[in-house]
């Protein structure tokens, strides 16, 4: 009995020809196009600009957008804004996506164990979840990054330590339903080792909700990373990062309003693209 | 009386969570790479001073006894001493906490002011133009960072129009009130989309129920049916949504305070981070968690007060 053949009712049937038209919905398509464009811009950064994002040139500081050789102008240290924007996208998108994957994996596995074994295992995990949830996400992430020292590794670890609880709760709830279903009982009755039942049979059926949630979680994680940069606690300088750019621009908001606005727009558009994808996927899953 | 017993029971049930919170906060300081005492005192500390602080912090003792000492201090209201500000951490928090609470109250007020009319409008004229616009807002708003909204509001209402101060909290009550409007709206604009979404959904459900049809057929005006009959029932589930998200937004007050230079605990936390003031960061992290627990408690109490069907157990 293979896991694919026994994919239970937890997975919505999407292959029926009747539903073909419902496969792609407008938010999903718009979001994917927009996000694809942003990723392409980030990947092609060296082709789109010949400027070095961290090279300072104090004699060419505060150039307005449209200045010769600097399409979006330069910042207070004379660094090219376009180059920093494009290379910043690489940093922020990479950190954002990676920082969602490890809580997704770890949280799902812990949720799987809690839901399957129940009893004291579930009780202990439940208490730990309650503790972590009591902290505002951003506060605990900031405190952890502070304690571990700045850097991308600290951000990954902090987001994982705080973020896994959401996935744990989602998957645990799904497992509680799935383990009473026939395919799970059959797997158990056939004497398969527990790890095999959990990973091969249950996981594919319960992980969908967690993946759907991870889509909107990316938006929140990206915002958290940009916010960390804005607070001066994110990716350490001189690495370009949108949050740091906004924070630097805010100091000159009276005279150079676009310095904070350009990276701000980048955050909003990326957030919108990811939010559209998340919305589209939820809509698709609900069909 | 029933309420008192219920609240008392809820408070008692919070004890394990509070213990857990203290445990996490305690371990925060153990995450510091190297010797916490040396880190606390900075690079210029003499080995003697480091050793003295190690003794004082009890770092030589077993971990469990260290935690029990920490817990004992907490129960006496002793959150440690800030070497950077030369003051007790509790004192620092005492002066900045009221600002944060004001911000939360103002944020909640503006959230309701924005969310309730829009949700009612959207639900009453379902699938109309207004409804479609209101439904699109949460998608756009989800990716909007609070600090960016704050900067835009400062630019428009602080600098261009000059209606509100650009930042700061002022010294008199009048200045406090003026200073808290823009930060409150910033918090509200990030929170309102979520509340609108939930309130709209429950309004639509309530508006299609039998008793609303009855009310309509009795010839009561639409406005009265919607506002008098439907809103109260629809509000119940939204109170929970609001509560859960205020807890989440307690975290973003940290950013909003930074943008508007409000001297609240969030601002204090960031300043303490830059000052490498570990005891204060630790203390404020604890206070933030306690605030979330208290907001959750108040949400449950409000929920049961609004809906008599909720069992008080």
pLDDT at A106 over 70: yes
Count, residues in chain B: 313
Among B31, B136, B159, B269, the residue to mutate for chain A (most A Cβ within 10 A): B31
For B282, which residue in chain A has the nearest alpha carbon? A143
Q: Where residue A133 falls among pLDDT bands split at 50, 70, 90?
A: confident
Q: What is B95-275's CATH topology?
A: MetI-like fold (1.10.3720)
Q: Please determine, for residue B166, whether its predicted confidence score (pLDDT) is greater than 80.
A: no
List pLDDT tens digits, range B179-205.
Answer: 788 888 888 888 888 788 878 888 787
Strand partners, A74: A80
Q: How far is A95 from chain B (nearest CA, A)?
A: 16
pLDDT tens for B116-134 read: 888 888 877 777 777 777 7
Q: Which residue of B has its CA nearest to A224?
A: B145
pLDDT (mean) for A96-100:
88
Sign of the dihedral defined by the CA atoms of residues B271, A271, A96, B293, in that order: positive
Say whether pLDDT at A35 is over 70. yes
Quick one: what percent of chain A has pLDDT higher than 70?
87
The CA R_g of chain A, rounded to the nearest whole Å, is 23
**pLDDT value for B272:** 85
DSSP-assigned beta bridge partners for residue B81: B88
Of A128, A138, A146, the CB nearest to B252: A138
Chain B residues closer than 8 Å to A223 by CB: 143, 145
Q: What is the DSSP string of A3-29?
A: TTTT--TTSPP---GGGGGGSS-HHHH
Residue B29, chain A, CB below 8 Å: the answer is yes
Across the A:B interface, residue pairs with CB atoms under 8 Å apart total 132
User: In A180-228, which ranges are E strands?
Assistant: none
d(CA B143, CA A47): 28
Nearest CB to A219; choose among B143, B292, B293:
B143
Tell which wins on pLDDT, B130 or A115.
A115
Band (A2; pLDDT cuts 50, 70, 90): very low
> What length is written for chain A?
287
Q: pLDDT class for A102, splitting at 50, 70, 90? A: very high
- Cβ separation of B147 and A138 shorter than 8 Å? no
pLDDT (0 to 100) of residue A10: 41
Output the CA torsion A134→A138→A143→A146 (10° steps).
160
pLDDT at A180: 83
What was the pLDDT predicted at B30?
A: 73
**Interface contact A143-B285, CB threshold 8 A:** yes
Q: Do residue A257 and residue B143 have CB atoms under 8 angstroms apart? A: no
Say if the Cβ atoms of B28 and A147 lie within 8 Å.
yes
Please check the confidence at residue A14 and state whether its pLDDT lies above 50. no
Range 137-196 of A in CB contact (< 8 A) with B = 137-140, 142-144, 146-149
Contact A137 B251 (CB under 8 A): yes
What H or E segment, with its residue span, contains residue B263? none
Asked which of A117-121, A148-152, B233-237 is least confident by mean pLDDT, the reply is B233-237
A69–B contact, CB cutoff 8 A: no
Provide the percentage of residues in chain B whose pLDDT is more than 70.
Answer: 95
Structure tokens at A80: 């090219």
- The three-state secondary structure class of B87 is strand
Angle at the Cα of B248 from the Cα atoms of B151 and B306, rounded to 5 degrees: 115
How many Å lie between the alpha carbon of B250 and the closest alpha carbon of chain A? 6
What is the DSSP secondary-structure string of B194-237? HHHHHHHHHHHHHHTSHHHHHHHHTT--HHHIIIIIIHHHHHHH
pLDDT-based confidence at residue B171 (cuts at 50, 70, 90): confident
Q: Could you say which residues from 78 to 117 on chain A have a Cβ atom under 8 Å away from some Cβ of chain B?
A: none
Q: What are the residue ranges spanned by the domains of chain B?
A: 34-76, 95-275
- CB neighbourhood size of A2 (10 A): 8
Question: CA–CA separation, B200 vs B203, rounded Å?
Answer: 5
Task: Tell me the mean pLDDT in the region A120-133.
Answer: 88
Test A131 with B23 for CB contact under 8 angstroms: yes
pLDDT for A21 beyond 60: no
Least confident of A91-100, A193-202, B25-34, B251-260: B25-34
Convert the pLDDT of each residue in B70-115 to its tens digit.
Answer: 888 888 878 777 777 778 888 888 888 999 998 988 988 898 888 8
C-alpha A169 chain-centroid distance: 18
Q: Predicted confidence band at A152 (pLDDT cuts at 50, 70, 90)?
A: confident
* A232 vs B: CB within 8 A: yes
Q: Does A14 touch chain B (CB under 8 A)?
A: no
Contact between A219 and B17 using a beta-carbon 8 Å cutoff: no
In terms of pLDDT, which residue wins out, A106 or B207?
A106
State whether residue B8 sits within 8 Å of chain A by CB: no
Identify the pLDDT of residue A113. Answer: 92
- Give residue for tokens 């919170």: B21
How confident is the prediction for chain B on average, in pLDDT?
A: 80
d(CA B254, CA B264): 8
More confident: A179 or B284: B284
Query: Hey, which residues 145-164 in chain B have their CB within 8 Å of chain A?
Result: 145-148, 151, 154-155, 159
Which residues pair with residue B87 across a beta bridge? B82
A135 to B139: CB separation less than 8 angstroms, yes or no:
no
List CB contacts (< 8 A) between B255 and chain A: 138, 227, 230-231
Q: What are the chain B neighbours of A131 within 8 Å (beta carbons)?
A: 17, 20-21, 23-24
Q: Does residue B135 register a pLDDT over 60?
A: yes
Query: SS3 for A79?
Result: coil
Separation of alpha carbons A273 and A277, rounded Å? 6
Q: What is the chain A residue with the closest CA to B281?
A: A143
Residues of chain A positioned with their CB less than 8 A from the CB of B20: 127-128, 130-131, 134
Whether a cis peptide bond, with omega within 30° of 0, leads into A158 is: no
CB-based contact, A250 to chain B, within 8 Å: yes
Nearest residue, CB atoms, B143 vs list A142, A260, A271:
A271
Residue A237 pLDDT > 80, yes or no? no
**For position A278, what pLDDT does the model report?**
82
Using pLDDT thresholds of 50, 70 and 90, give the confidence band for residue A114.
very high
> Cβ–Cβ of A227/B147 closer than 8 Å?
yes
Q: What is the largest CA-CA distance in chain A?
A: 76
pLDDT band at B273 (very low <50, low <70, confident <90, very high): confident
pLDDT at A103 over 90: yes
pLDDT at A19 over 60: no
Residue A277, chain B, CB below 8 Å: the answer is no
For residue B148, list chain A residues with Cβ-Cβ distance below 8 A.
246, 264, 267-268
Contacts of A148 in chain B (CB under 8 A): 31-33
Contact A136 B17 (CB under 8 A): no
- A228-242, B216-230, B282-296: range with lowest mean pLDDT: B216-230
Q: Provide ipTM, 2 decimals.
A: 0.81
Give the chain A residue whose CA is nearest to the CA of B275.
A146
Residue recorded with tokens 């589930």: B237
């Amino acid at each position: 009995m293979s896991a694919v053949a026994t994919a239970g009712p937890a997975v919505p049937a999407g292959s029926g020809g009747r539903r073909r038209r419902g496969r792609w919905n407008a938010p999903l398509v718009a979001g994917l196009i927009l996000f694809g464009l942003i990723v392409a811009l980030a990947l092609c950064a060296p082709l789109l600009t010949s400027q070095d994002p961290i090279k300072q040139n104090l004699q060419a500081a505060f150039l307005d957008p449209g200045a010769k050789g600097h399409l979006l102008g330069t910042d207070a240290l004379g660094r090219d804004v376009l180059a920093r924007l494009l290379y910043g996208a690489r940093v922020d998108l990479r950190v954002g996506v990676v920082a969602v994957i490890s809580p997704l994996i770890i949280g799902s596995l812990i949720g799987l164990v809690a839901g399957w074994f129940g009893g004291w295992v579930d009780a202990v995990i439940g208490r730990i979840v309650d503790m972590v949830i009591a902290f505002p996400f951003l506060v605990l992430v900031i405190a952890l990054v502070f304690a571990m020292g700045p850097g991308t590794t600290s951000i990954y670890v902090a987001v994982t330590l705080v973020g896994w609880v959401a996935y744990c709760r989602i998957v645990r709830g799904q497992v509680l339903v799935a383990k009473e279903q026939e395919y799970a009982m059959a797997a158990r009755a056939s004497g398969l080792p527990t790890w095999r039942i959990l990973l091969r049979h249950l996981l594919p059926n319960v992980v969908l909700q967690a993946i759907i949630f991870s889509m909107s979680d990316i938006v929140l994680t990206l915002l958290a990373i940009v916010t960390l940069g804005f607070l001066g606690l994110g990716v350490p300088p001189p690495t370009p990062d949108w949050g740091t750019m906004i924070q630097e621009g805010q100091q000159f908001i009276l005279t150079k309003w676009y310095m904070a606005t350009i990276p701000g727009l980048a955050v909003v558009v990326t957030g919108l693209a990811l939010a559209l994808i998340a919305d589209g996927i939820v809509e698709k899953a609900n069909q | 009386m029933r309420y008192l017993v219920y609240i008392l029971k809820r408070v008692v049930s919070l004890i394990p969570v509070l213990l857990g919170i203290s445990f996490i906060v305690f371990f925060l300081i153990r995450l510091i790479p190297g010797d916490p005492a040396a880190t606390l005192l900075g690079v210029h500390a003499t080995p003697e001073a480091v050793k003295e602080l190690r003794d004082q912090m009890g770092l030589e003792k077993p971990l469990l006894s260290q935690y029990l000492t920490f817990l004992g201090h907490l129960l006496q209201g002793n959150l440690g001493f800030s070497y950077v500000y030369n003051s007790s951490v509790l004192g620092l928090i005492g002066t900045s906490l009221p600002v944060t609470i004001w911000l939360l109250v103002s944020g909640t007020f503006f959230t309701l002011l924005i969310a309730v009319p829009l949700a009612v409008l959207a639900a009453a004229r379902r699938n109309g133009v207004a409804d479609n616009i209101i439904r699109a807002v949460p998608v756009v708003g989800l990716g909007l960072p609070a600090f960016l909204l704050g900067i835009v509001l400062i630019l428009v209402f602080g600098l261009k129009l000059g209606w509100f101060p650009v930042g700061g909290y002022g010294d008199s009550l009048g200045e406090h009130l003026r200073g808290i409007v823009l930060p409150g709206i910033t918090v509200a604009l990030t929170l309102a989309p979520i509340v609108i979404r939930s309130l709209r959904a429950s309004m639509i459900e309530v508006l299609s129920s039998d008793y609303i049809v009855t009310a309509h057929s009795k010839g009561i005006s639409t406005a009265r049916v919607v506002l008098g009959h439907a809103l109260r029932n629809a509000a119940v589930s939204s109170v929970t949504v609001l509560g859960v998200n205020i807890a989440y937004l307690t975290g973003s007050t940290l950013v909003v305070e930074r943008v508007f230079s409000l001297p609240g605990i969030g601002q204090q936390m960031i300043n303490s981070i830059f000052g490498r003031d570990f005891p204060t960061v630790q203390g404020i992290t604890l206070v933030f968690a306690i605030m979330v627990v208290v907001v959750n408690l108040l949400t449950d109490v409000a929920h049961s007060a609004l809906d008599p069907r909720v069992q008080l157990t």
